[in-house]
Structure 1
Amino acid sequence: MAFFNGGGRAPGEILTRFQSAERPMPVDHTFFEFGSVRYHVQASASDPENVYLSISTPSLSHEASPSTGLPEFTLQEARKMYHKFAEIVEPSKEGYALTLKLNFSGLTRPKDRAKAVRQVSLLQSVVLGSQLKHLLGSLGSSGATKLVYNHRDPFFVSRTPGKIKAIFPMRFRDDTDIAVATSFFQELQDAGNSYAKAPKCSWSAIPPPELRGESVQHLTTNGGFVSFDIFERHVKRKRAAKTAWILLNFQAYVKYHIKCTRNYIQSRMRKRQESLAEVIQNARLRGGDDKKKSQVRKKSKRRLFSLGKAKKLQKGFRAVIDGIKRLRLRIRVKALDRFRRCFVVPKLATKKHNYLRLGA
C-alpha cells in the first residue's frame, strides 16, 4: 500500500534531519524517487531558515513541459497547500518544474513542524493529482485521452454521459505474473462490484470500445484491460486528489501486489519443502533404527535357535547313552550262568499246620 499513500519518504527524512541538527549545515542534495521523480534540496549554513526544494515530474498535461513549467491550476493548488510556510519561486530552478522556498521559523510547536514536513512529502501527489483532476474535468464528450505517468505503462481516460472511464492496458514479463494478475483482476472485479460506493471495475482480455482508433502498439497486451467507472461523487472536493493519485499508481500497485504474492507462494513452497525433507530424514533415521532392531532380533533369534539346537542335541545324546546303558544291562555271559547254577540254594519245603480256634 506504499504507492497509495501519496507521500515520498526521502524529502521528509532530509528535512527532519536538517531541522534536528544541532548546528546549521549546508545541504545540496539531488535524489530520485519512484523512478521518474527528481528532487533537489538546497540550504546554506549562513541562512538555515530558508530551504529550497525543487521537483521535476512527468507532466500529464499537454499544456506543460519541464521547460515551460507547470500549468497555472497546478501552481494554484500548490499555493493553497503550502501558503503557511512556503512560497513558489519563479522562475524555478533550471531543469525542474517547481521550486518551493520553505521557511519553518513561523511554526513554533514541534507538532506543527512535523505536520508541515508531512505536507511537503506530499508534493508529488499534489502536482500530479491536480493535473489529472483538471484533465478529468476538461475531457471532451467523445474519444479517449492518453496519459503517460510511466513511459512503459500509459493509460487512457474517456468521458461518457454521467461518468469518466479509466482504462489500464496491463503488460507483464513473466507467464507466472500473468496467471497471478488474471486471478487478481477477477477477484477485484467480483469484490469491487459488491460495494455500491466503490468505482465499478471490469476486466477484459480484448480492448474496450472506448479505445477504438488507437494504435496497435498501445493495444497490444498480455494481461488484458482493467477499467474503472468514476462518477461525480468520486471527484468531489478532497476526494478528487485521492482518486487521481490512486489512478496514477494503480499499475504500480498491481505489480507490487504480484511481487508480494509470488514471494508469499515461494516462501510457502520453501516451508513445505523443508517440512517434507524433515519427514524424509526422520523416516530414514527410523528406517536405520528399524534395521538395527531387526538385526538385533535376528541375532537373538540365531542365539535362541543355537541354544535350542544344543538342547535338542543334548537330549538326543542322553537318549543314546541311556540306550547304551540298557543294552549293557541285557548282555549275559554263559559261563556266569553255569557259575550261578553251582551256587543255587535249594528250596526248603514248608509244611502247613492246621490250627484250631479256641472257643469255636
Structure 2
Amino acid sequence: MILLEPGNVIIHNVLTDKFIKPSSMDISFVDYDSVRFHLSTPIKKTEIWLSMAVKCWKDLVKYGALDIVEREFGQWLSKETEEGFDVTLKFEVDQVPELGEARSSLIQRLSLLKPTCLSAPFERAFHAQSTLQPPNEGEAAVPGELMQIHYRDDEAIYVQASHDRVTVVFSTMFKEETDRVFGRVFLQEFVDARRLPGIQNAPQVLYSNRDPPLEIRHLPGLKQTEDVGYVTFVLFPRHFTPLTAPSTITTIQLFRDYLHYHIKCSKAYMHSRMRHRVAEFQKVLNRAKPEDKEIAAGGGRERKTVSGRTFRSR
C-alpha cells in the first residue's frame, strides 16, 4: 500500500523556486483535513509570507503548538498573523540559507508546517509518560491528561499517557455503507497484523464500531451510530524514543487520511473491474445476436455500394 507523504508538495516546490528566482505570487491551497495555506508576497516580491489555518488551532495552542513553532521557525515566525489564518511565517529571500543542504533542510521543514503543529499533543503525551510513576500494589493506575484534538467536523484524535504507554484514539466517520464495509476490512487487517512474523513490534491496534473505547467513553457528546468507528493505537516506549518519535508522530497523524485514501482507491479498482466485466459480457451478448430474418429465410442481406446503389448479398 502507498504511504502518503507528510510534507506539502506545493510548499516545497514553490519555495524551492521562489528562493532562487523571487517573483510576485498569491497562491491559496488546501491540504488534508481542510487545512488552508496561503503563499504570497503582499509587500514586495523578495518577502514571502506563508500562512496556515487549522480548524483545531485552539486545541493545539492549549497543548503547546506555539512553543513548537517557535522552536522550529523562531526567526521566521511573525508576531502579526495574516487575517483569517492562525500562524504566519515571513521570509526575506536574501536572509535564507544559501543553496545547499541548509536551504533544502529549511524548505523540507517548512513543508512539514502542519505536522509540526499537530505534533504538540503527541510530544506532550510522550513527555508525560516518562514522568508518570507506576501504581503501588493494590492501587489503580492514574492516567495522564486526556487531550482532545477536534481536527475535522465530527471527528477527533484523543491522546492520553499512562505510566507504561501512550494511547491514541481516532474517531472516524464512514458516510457511505460501502465505506463502512471497506473500512472494517482494512481495520481488521491492522488488528491482525501483529500476528504475522516479523512485525510483533508494531503498535497494538484495536477497532470498535459504534461503541467508543473505555479511555473516552465518559466524554459527553460522543456519537454511537453505525457510521462511526473508533481506532485505538497503543504506543509503548520503544515507539517514541528520541530516534523514533518524529517518525511515529508524522506517521500516526496521517492514519485517517491513509485509511480513507485506500478505501477510495479500493472502490475505484472495484468499479474499474466491474466496468471491464460488463464490457466483456456485452461482447458475448453481441456475438450471440441472431441473424437477420432475411438471412434466416434465405433472402440475403441488403447492402449498399459506395455510389449508393443497393444490392442483396447471398
| TM-score (normalizing by structure 1) | 0.66
Amino acid at match of 1:247: I
Q: 1:190 to 1:108 in 2, by over 3 A?
A: same
3-state secondary structure, aligned to 2:288:
helix
The alignment status of 1:288 with 2:291, answered yes or no, reads: yes
TM-aligned CA distance change 1:161 to 1:63, over 3 Å: same
1:14 match: secondary structure = helix
CA distance in 2, matches of 1:169, 1:63: 18
Residue type matched to 1:224 in 2?
A: G
Match of 1:71 in 2: 66
| 1:248-307 deviation per Cα after TM superposition (whole angstroms, max 9, x unaligned) | 3322221111111111101100001101111221232xx539x958959xxxxxxxxxxx
**Counterpart of 1:269?**
274
Query: Which position in structure 1 is the counterpart of 2:10?
Result: 10
Aligned equivalents of 2:297, 2:267: Cα separation in 1: 47
Q: CA contact under 8 A between 2:65 and 2:118: conserved in structure 1?
A: no
Pair 1:245–1:10, CA change in 2 (3 A): same
Name the % identity.
24
Q: Deviations over 1:78-137 (max 9, x none)?
A: 34xxxxxx6323344444333323345454436664554333211111121234322443
Structure 1 residue aligned with 2:246: 241
Residue correspondence of structure 1 range 26-41 to structure 2 within 5 A: 26-41=24-39
Q: 1:219 to 1:74 in 2, by over 3 A?
A: farther
Written as runs of structure 1 = structure 2, the 5 A alignment for 1:195-344 is 195-205=199-209, 206-284=211-289, 287-288=290-291
Greater per-residue helix proportion = 1
Instruction: Choose 105-114 or 263-272, whichever is displaced more.
Output: 105-114
Say which of 87, 97, 106 aligns to 2:86. 97
> C-alpha distance in 2, partners of 1:124/1:265?
33
Conservation of the 8 A alpha-carbon contact between 1:73 and 1:130: yes
What is the CA–CA distance in structure 2 between the aligned matches of 1:111 and 1:77, rounded to whole Å? Answer: 17
How many residue pairs get aligned? The number is: 282
Q: Is the 8 A contact 2:35 2:53 kept in 1?
A: yes
CA RMSD of aligned residues (A): 3.4
Unaligned runs of 5+ in 1: 80-85, 297-360
Larger Rg: 1
Contact 2:81–2:87 at 8 Å: present in 1 too? yes
Asked whether the 8 Å contact 1:193–1:201 carries over to 2, the reply is: no
Moved more, 256-265 or 220-229: 220-229
Contact 1:29 1:42 in 2 (8 A): yes
Could you tell me which of 167, 170, 174 is aligned with 2:169?
167
